[in-house]
Chain A
């Protein structure tokens, strides 16, 4: 079987969004962050697929849904390598990497147990203070953490 056939076996989208090159280890976190479990359109989630660059990868294909850019960028913290493909009539009309925003709201919990965000019913907010390596800082208590150690909700 050829590689092309293998990929086609997963799903071919007429219209929709494909998020490719998600690290396998965070695929389901990405699913969570995007909130796609509540969608009623056709949805394909693949994991541990062969990837030339990363060994294995995860992929999310969502039919007939075009997410706002800010929604897709929410996964950049955990999946900085992810690439978004916009499909219209079986053609990739747009292809772009996810971009880490300057401010991350409501995705990461602060690992400082004495932080107000862990004790009040409120959204967390982090500022990206370094992009290499990605380091985020709690808007409230000032506690910083690198993205690989960040606890995603």
Chain B
């Protein structure tokens, strides 16, 4: 048995092991409560004022060693809307990594060209390692099943925007709670805001024990369910659905067994709270039926849109751009 330390930002916890650049964002636990709230305000600002030329003259690399649609496009849109230029790749098979180039060499080489690196990698810990081999800030856009902090920021922003607060909410997480990095990161980020969690998953995909210990240690209430029942849905403010990720399974038969266990249909929302919002990190397969899309409680497409604003705020953080000054100059 092991534990997720509250201060699992080891980079800051242990002297002598700071990343080489402090503006990098590897894990949501790199960000304090105050900084989360400040970033949410900045995201709100960018939602109202998406276009600025504050990255004029800056070049940003998007290195996607693993495929992605939303994350890469929204990061690239964020840079473009802020007036910066983007270089990069979305398919590692077109790069020298196929010739056996190490990640270190790729990062060092790209660092010569750009002001910021946004990277997604299929290996866990790749982003943390990248921060140790370059002075250029790194934003982790997902490292295997490990961390995906910009997704967490947009989830937090979506919750904040739809509920008007982050504190004291009933949050139900459904589906793949074992491998789903978004639920793990969101759970950890919510520790500041006194949530009550419901975890709905089959035994094969239930919330790992270290996250339950994390909840216990942080005084977070949680209940586990294997049944996706009306009682659970009707006592929820945020219904966070996840896809059972085929790529995380080594045994395809295991995947086939569990992939359809927790599907949401519109009729299941009949008795739900008025303020309920359904979130999903996307892409969905069939865990949310198409008839849910027209329900005003469905929020996943707006959630993906919020990713743009949250990422604009994160890019500014990484480049040391003070958005509050920007706001003042706008007035």
Contact = CB atoms under 8 A, between A and B. Distances in A.
Interface of A: 102-103, 112, 114-117, 119-122, 125, 127, 129-130, 135, 137-146
Given A122-B104, A127-B13, 17 more contacts: A102-B14, A114-B123, A116-B129, A120-B102, A122-B129, A125-B17, A139-B17, A139-B125, A139-B128, A140-B124, A140-B128, A141-B124, A141-B143, A142-B125, A144-B2, A144-B210, A146-B2
A127 B10 contact: yes
A1 to B, nearest CB: 47
Contacts of B327: none
A136 B187 CA distance: 22
B211 to A, nearest CB: 11
Contacts of B282: none
Contact of A120 (B3, B104, B147): B104
Nearest to B13: A127
12 contacts: A115-B123, A116-B121, A116-B124, A117-B129, A125-B17, A129-B3, A130-B2, A137-B10, A140-B126, A141-B124, A141-B143, A144-B210
Contacts of B17: 103, 125, 139
B14 A127 contact: yes
Interface in B120-156: 121-126, 128-129, 143-147
B126 to A, nearest CB: 5
A135 B209 CA distance: 15
A138 B126 CA distance: 12
Given A102-B14, A119-B123, A120-B102, A144 B144 contact: no
A127 B145 CA distance: 20
Among B2, B3, B4, B125, find the residue whose CB has the most chain A CB atoms closer than 10 A.
B125
Contacts of B123: 114-116, 119
Nearest to A124: B125
Interface residues of B, number: 27
Interface in B131-184: 143-147
Nearest to A146: B2
B8 interface: yes
Interface in B56-95: none
Contacts of A135: 1-3
B2 A140 contact: no
Interface string B8-42: 10100110010000000000000000000000000
B10 A141 contact: no
Contacts of B8: 137, 142
A42 B178 CA distance: 53
A141 B123 CA distance: 8
A115 B2 contact: no
Given A122-B104, A127-B14, A114 B122 contact: yes
A49 to B, nearest CB: 34
B319 interface: no
B200 to A, nearest CB: 24
A120 to B, nearest CB: 6
Nearest to A122: B129
B102 to A, nearest CB: 6
B204 interface: no
B5 interface: yes
Interface string B263-290: 0000000000000000000000000000
